[in-house]
A and B are shown apart, each in its own frame.
Chain A
Amino acid sequence: MQMQIELTSRPIDLCRELPRELAGAAGAAVEFQGIVRGKENGGAVAALEYEAYPPMAERVMRQTVTELGRQHPCLFVRVTHRVGVVPVGAAAIHVVAAARHRVEAFAMVTKFMDRLKQDVPIWKVRALGRPEFAASKPQ
């Protein structure tokens, strides 16, 4: 299984193509975007600020994908998580899983997100209300 795990302070490129070598092998690709909402804890926000413990966050994400891959074999998994200020409407996380069949790819994405929210050392540390952080348009 190919794996790409990345933390980035830049907007996530949601249009990255799958590796060419998957052509002919992958029968399904499942994608998830976690998008910043305009309300957090009942209050309007313009952006969320994320903080990570990078080496451990990347390691735990890698371990999680590896572990889930034994149960739900996939050909390729890419996880990209933003850190820093992420405006409303922008993706804070993007997960793509490709597999021979859809069941494995859906399971990988769903279970990975569950585990991320339990174990990966990344935090929403601040909700910013200042309009200058608002996205001009969704990505």
Chain B
Amino acid sequence: MRILFFAHLKDVTGTADTEIKLGESLDADALWQRLIAAYPGLARFRGSVRLARNGEYAGADARFDDADEVALIPPVSGG
């Protein structure tokens, strides 16, 4: 799975993107646990960050697998 980080989350993780191997399909809660285990600094942003799966905001029942591109979307500020 390819994971993308934007804005201040790049500073938190020290990278703009990374690859992780899930080996199974996960729901959002389980994916967040994996992400926070890899990047503990993400924990405090979890409440404000939305997950996108393959370029679309992920619904509450979304599942994620290794073929997906997942983006962590912090509060946006365009315009």
Give the contact stretch, choosing among A67-75, A114-122, A131-139. A114-122
Contact of B77 among A53, A59, A113, A123 (CB under 8 A): A123
Q: 8 Å CB contacts to A: which residues of B9-37?
A: none
A92 at the binding interface (Cβ < 8 Å): yes
Query: Interface readout for B49-79 with A: 1 if CB under 8 Å, 0 if not?
Result: 0001001110000000000000101101111
Asked whether B52 lies within 8 Å of A56 as measured between CB atoms, the reply is yes
A72 and B75 CA atoms in complex are apart in Å by: 27
Query: Shortest Cβ distance from B60 into chain A, in angstroms?
Result: 16
Contact of A55 among B6, B55, B73, B74 (CB under 8 A): B55
Contact of B52 among A50, A92, A121, A125 (CB under 8 A): A121
Asked whether B79 lies within 8 Å of A53 as measured between CB atoms, the reply is no
A116 and B57 CA atoms in complex are apart in Å by: 14
Query: Shortest Cβ distance from A96 into chain B, in angstroms?
Result: 15
Whether A53 contacts B71 in the complex (CB less than 8 A), given A121-B6, A121-B52, A125-B7, comes out as yes
Whether A117 contacts B52 in the complex (CB less than 8 A), given A53-B71, A123-B6, comes out as no
Show 8 A/B contacts (Cβ-Cβ < 8 Å), sorted by A. A52-B78, A53-B52, A55-B55, A57-B78, A59-B56, A117-B77, A123-B77, A125-B7
User: Which of A's residues lie within 8 Å of B, judged by CB?
Assistant: 34, 50-53, 55-57, 59, 81, 92-93, 113, 116-125
